[in-house]
A and B are shown apart, each in its own frame.
Chain A
Amino acid sequence: MATQEEIVAGLAEIVNEIAGIPTEDVKLDKSFTDDLDVDSLSMVEVVVAAEEQFGVKIPDDDVKNLKTVGDAADYILKAQQV
């Protein structure tokens, strides 16, 4: 199971790939939409890539609650434990 730190690092790689944002700028308090140039369509890509990388399921209804990198990291941490 990945730690929160590993999850953030993984999300940083994904956001870098999709939105071109430097990995060091992807931090817990950053908003995907407002800070990281991830619009609602690109967020779907982030979610699908994260599901694959961390072996979790993130249902569409939950995606709207993932505003920040921290939200996503916490969600993935919990989902791993299910």
Chain B
Amino acid sequence: MSPTNHTVVVTGIGATTPLGGDSASTWEALLAGRSGVRPLEQDWAAELPVRIAAQIAVEPGEVLPRPLARKLDRSAQFALIAAREAWADAGFTAKAGEDPAVDPDRLGAVVASGIGGVTTLLGQYDVLKNQGVRKVSPHTVPMLMPNSPSANVGIDINARAGVHTPVSACASGAEAIGYAVEMIRTGRADVVVAGGTEAAIHPLPIVAFGNMMAMSKNNDDPQGASRPYDAGRDGFVLGEGAGVVVLESVEHARARGARVYAEVVGQGISADAHHITQPEPTGRGIAAALQHLLDGSDLKPAEIVHVNAHATSTPQGDVAEIKALRRVFGDDVDHMAISATKSMTGHLLGGAGGIETVASVLALYHRIAPPTINLVERDPEADADIVGDKPRPLPEGTIAALNDSFGFGGHNVVLALRSFES
């Protein structure tokens, strides 16, 4: 193999989500078909048109030491919790350098957020207006900058090969993982911690998304509100949290005897160049990303048995994605068990690609596809094998999964993972 085309594998996973404070509890809840959506009980929510969200299951203040937590935006708190889990899960016992298994100069971090430190930004503006100049926190700028989660993770693990933050709205987490894959594939790094995080449950983003007619207003049935592919879907439910993976060259993973969850086969990226928020209705842009994935990797359509779909529960987006899969894969779509885990987690925006990569990795590793809850009457335009309310076993042998993420702005990112025989 050419030294500039390293095989990339996943050796660690971590998450903190509306379903659980770590990846194991999140996975258990996904398989059980539990919804993380709950009523917003904060005072500020009482008069809003949308009064539901998928709030974090375990508050970061219960996990991180207070002096650290108070200097981090909530999005960075989530990212750090997920990254520390993934780091330990990969078998590292201390930061790079202190643990000799990884060289700091060969370690990167790429953790993305779609919006950045929005609650810090708005909260400190409230402080300025209500309490005056002197009370605005000196930590405000490093908390609100969108590269803060990545930078804090990088400092925590001692990553010196590069720390990056791609921003592409709801594709940000997937784009971060794709960027990390390229860092390893091209030889810039041996190990990269990558993923996505989001913490945007605040009245302004909720009202703004709501005024776009993008969110479900099914306040009377929180757990039934996120219903991808169902004929009665009326928009997404906002979620919060983070998902992070440790990516590693297969040579590096083998040399230290690491457990390998899955191989990252490749990625496909495209842009719609159509509308700032509406998906291109025929799925043209998504299909282009899928085609790039096939053209740029050795992935075979026959291997793909599972898709963790973007499927946010919006009327247009869910269908465009299925059309694109059909356009590229034709009848091969029939052997893909398609799961919309946002039916349970809500939509974590920039965090979605992170937690859904974790879910896709675990689906391959345990050979089971998580359910799609609330699918009562399937939209006939969603012409594919959608996994319903029970998880679905996946076949033996070499199998692959896709993880789709699309963002406002017309960003399309598709990641492909494959089972790994060590």
Contact B137 A20 (CB under 8 A): no
- Once A18-B67, A37-B67 are accepted as A-B contacts, the answer to whether A48 and B139 lie under 8 Å apart by CB is no
Grouping DSSP codes into helix (H, G, I), strand (E, B) and loop, the A interface class, with mixed when no group exceeds half, is helix
* Interface residues in A32-71 (C-beta closer than 8 Å to B): 37, 41-42, 44-45, 48, 51
Q: Which range holds the interface residue count of chain A?
A: 10 to 19
**CA of A58 to CA of B66, assembled, Å:** 26
**CA of A45 to CA of B139, assembled, Å:** 9
- Does A9 sit within 8 A of B, measured CB to CB? no
Contact B142 A41 (CB under 8 A): yes
- Does A19 sit within 8 A of B, measured CB to CB? yes
**CA of A51 to CA of B133, assembled, Å:** 14
- Does B138 sit within 8 A of A, measured CB to CB? yes
- Does B380 sit within 8 A of A, measured CB to CB? no
State the Cβ distance, B70 to closest chain A Cβ, in Å: 8
Contact B66 A41 (CB under 8 A): no
* Interface residues in A1-41 (C-beta closer than 8 Å to B): 18-20, 37, 41
- Does B134 sit within 8 A of A, measured CB to CB? yes
A19 partner, pick from B67, B137, B142, beta carbons under 8 A: B67
Contact A48 B134 (CB under 8 A): yes
Contact B135 A20 (CB under 8 A): no
* Nearest opposing residue in chain B for A40, CB measure: B138
State the Cβ distance, A54 to closest chain B Cβ, in Å: 14
- Does B395 sit within 8 A of A, measured CB to CB? no
State the Cβ distance, A65 to closest chain B Cβ, in Å: 18
Contact B139 A41 (CB under 8 A): yes
Contacts from B to A (Cβ < 8 Å): 65-68, 70-71, 134-135, 137-139, 142
Contacts from A to B (Cβ < 8 Å): 18-20, 37, 41-42, 44-45, 48, 51
| 19 A–B pairs (Cβ distance < 8 Å), ordered by A | A18-B67, A18-B70, A19-B67, A20-B65, A20-B66, A37-B67, A41-B71, A41-B138, A41-B139, A41-B142, A42-B71, A42-B138, A42-B139, A44-B138, A45-B137, A45-B138, A45-B139, A48-B134, A48-B135
